[in-house]
Chain A
Amino acid sequence: MAGAVPPGAEVRVIGPPQELERVPLVANQRSLAWVSDRVAGIVEGRAPLWWWVAFVPSVVALLLLGAMLVYQISTGVGVWGNNHPVMWGWDIINFVWWIGIGHAGTLISAILFLLRQRWRTAVNRAAEAMTIFAVMCAGIYPALHVGRIWFDWWLFPVHNSQSLWPQFRSPLMWDVFAVSTYFTVSVLFWYMGLIPDLAVFRDRAKTKLRKFFYGLFALGWTGSNRHWSNYEKAYLILAGLSTPLVLSVHSIVSLDFAVSQLPGWHTTIFPPYFVAGAIFSGFGMVLTLLIPLRKWCHLEDIITQRHIDVMCKVTLATGSIVGYAYGMEFFIAWYSGSPYERFAFINRAMGPYAWGYWTMIFCNVVAPQLFWSRRIRSNLLVVWILSIVVNVGMWFERFVIIVISLHRDFLAANWGHYLPTWVDVCTYLGTFGLFFTCFLLFMRFLPMIAIAEVKGVTPQADPHHPLGGAKSGGHPA
């Protein structure tokens, strides 16, 4: 091969034909400077009107959450609809729902990083923030549902007032460790990703206050390559650690159910099925948040149509896995030969809560199949509506698993009916207040897009591309 090139001749590397080139990740050949200007522009200057229109109701809902927590703690869990035999109601439904939503953030930041999916850079920061705020909303419920929250510290490995330690054979204990680790590691990962971008904000800061705070949290980042080298290794390791973490968290949440003996809960398919469902709902939430934000914040060149398209495909794939799991649950209920197991599933589809079951099937299995069509995937309004349908469906999935399984178990004398109270409903609405207040503050004060990472995927960032200054190779602009 080497002999074919005469000495001294210019060697030109020819890229693939133009029509085989992928759609660029950053549209319209935007420059490196444009990326920082655009993302910092969201934070600099006055808050736009739409931000206030979203922020004020969020804070009102957050106050509602505060009021509900005070009322519940001062009165007792009796203010909720939970009662025998349905002792887990909206509290655990909403806990599992919120924590599931968080999973897309970690999938995008960790698993897609390991899989070298470079499109993730446009959405990972916002998705990680979503993870953290969703886990915060989720964490409220287990802390509250124990009834006497002043005993919550018994959950931690502390010698309590009766000289007892926690009992580590219970999946509920595993859950405490899984969720708190998940929250902590998500924050670490998120913060580490923020350091170079906080330095961008520090270097642009005009006011003293901004200079001080961005400077403080940027830790003196200079962009030194000796630093980048350690930084990238640490990022890779964090991604490698977060991947088994995210898979374990929802697996352990599912073990809260699967380790019990209740028909409808006692199922080995739960861990993978919960993880797929979590990623499914998380992508639903990412789409719900980012489709309006990319328009309002003028980020169409960073979060392009291609990004939306890929996320729709992930939603379709995970939704189909979830649909398969629903089918498999039914098959195993029949195949097990256990009359209780069979009854539990027939009761799901034809019992008093059948409407909940069929809502779940429609939203999670039928509706996402529309994403097979390219035309649907490129219609942002339809995608946005479907992303909300997905999360309605995933809420109903947890309702089906928890309420329908509990309300009719082995003994007919033990049957009952469950209805939430107004406190249940208002607490749930209140968690949206917490979520959106945090998210809106995040996008006003922190870089919503990973600036350094997005710069890194543009052609002008590549030293082997003509736009990056290389003498040959790739396609010229």
Chain B
Amino acid sequence: MSEGAKPYGLLAEFDTPAALMHAAEKVRDAGYRQWDVFTPYPVHGMDKAMGLKNSRVGWFSFLGGSTGFAVGNLMIWFMNRFDYPIPVGGKPLFSPFSAFPVAYELTILLGAFGALLGMLILNRLPRLHHPLLKHGRFKLATHDKFFLVIETADAKYQPEQTRQLLEAAGSARLEWVED
């Protein structure tokens, strides 16, 4: 830890998903808020261990999908009935049935964009610069190691106590991350 600059956080390394999960439960119960765990794949049960709520991505997708369905129907109504009616074989100028396939495809198209963009917005991505990405050891988070980080910005953060908590949780390795 260099003098003067406040570190970004305390990085604790674990070897197995089970060890990380128990540590996450302890950190959750200690009442920390600005902390996170980093794993090479999504560990099932970790949301509960961290006390995370259900993701809100669904709302973005729902918004996209309903927009798609409405836009599809309105577009076809406007083009084939309102702006330039094309009478074919005495069939209705607008019918929800013949408009359905296109509106359905647009529902899926915009719903899918909603899901992807919702994920990126909620995750504040893309973010190409992050203190953790500069840390050498952290590269193993996409390989085979499991990390837990408590940020110094957390209200409950105390250099000694936080360190003791993570040591008691069984971390194999504790390091400071520069901001």
Contacts and interface: CB of A to CB of B under 8 A. Distances in A.
Contacts of A173: 102
Given A241-B112, A464-B18, A225 B79 contact: no
Contacts of A449: none
Interface residues of B, number: 73
Nearest to B123: A227
B174 interface: no
Interface stretch (A215-223, A283-291, A319-327): A215-223
B101 A233 contact: no
Contact-size category for A: 35 or more
Given A232-B42, A463-B18, A241 B128 contact: no
A169 interface: yes
Contacts of A228: 39, 42-43, 46
Interface stretch (A20-28, A244-252, A392-400): A244-252
Given A166-B79, A230-B55, A234-B118, A185 B112 contact: yes
B143 A203 contact: yes
Contact of B38 (A31, A222, A229, A230): A222
Contact of A225 (B50, B75, B102): B50
Interface string B32-68: 0000111111111111001010111110010001000
A223 B16 contact: no
B123 A226 contact: yes
A469 B101 contact: no
A202 B37 CA distance: 20
A255 B19 CA distance: 55
A385 B127 CA distance: 47
Q: Which 5 A-B pairs have the closest CB atoms?
A: A469-B16, A469-B18, A165-B79, A219-B126, A234-B119
14 contacts: A157-B79, A168-B80, A168-B102, A169-B88, A221-B142, A228-B43, A229-B55, A230-B56, A233-B58, A455-B41, A463-B20, A463-B46, A469-B15, A469-B18
Interface of A: 31-33, 36, 157, 163-169, 171, 173-174, 177-178, 181, 184-185, 188-189, 191-192, 196, 199-200, 202-204, 215-216, 219-234, 237-238, 241-242, 244-245, 248, 252, 255, 452-453, 455-456, 460-464, 468-471
Interface of B: 15-21, 24, 36-47, 50, 52, 54-58, 61, 65, 75-76, 79-80, 83-84, 86, 88, 91, 95, 98-99, 101-102, 104-106, 108-109, 111-113, 115-116, 118-120, 122-123, 125-130, 132-133, 138-144
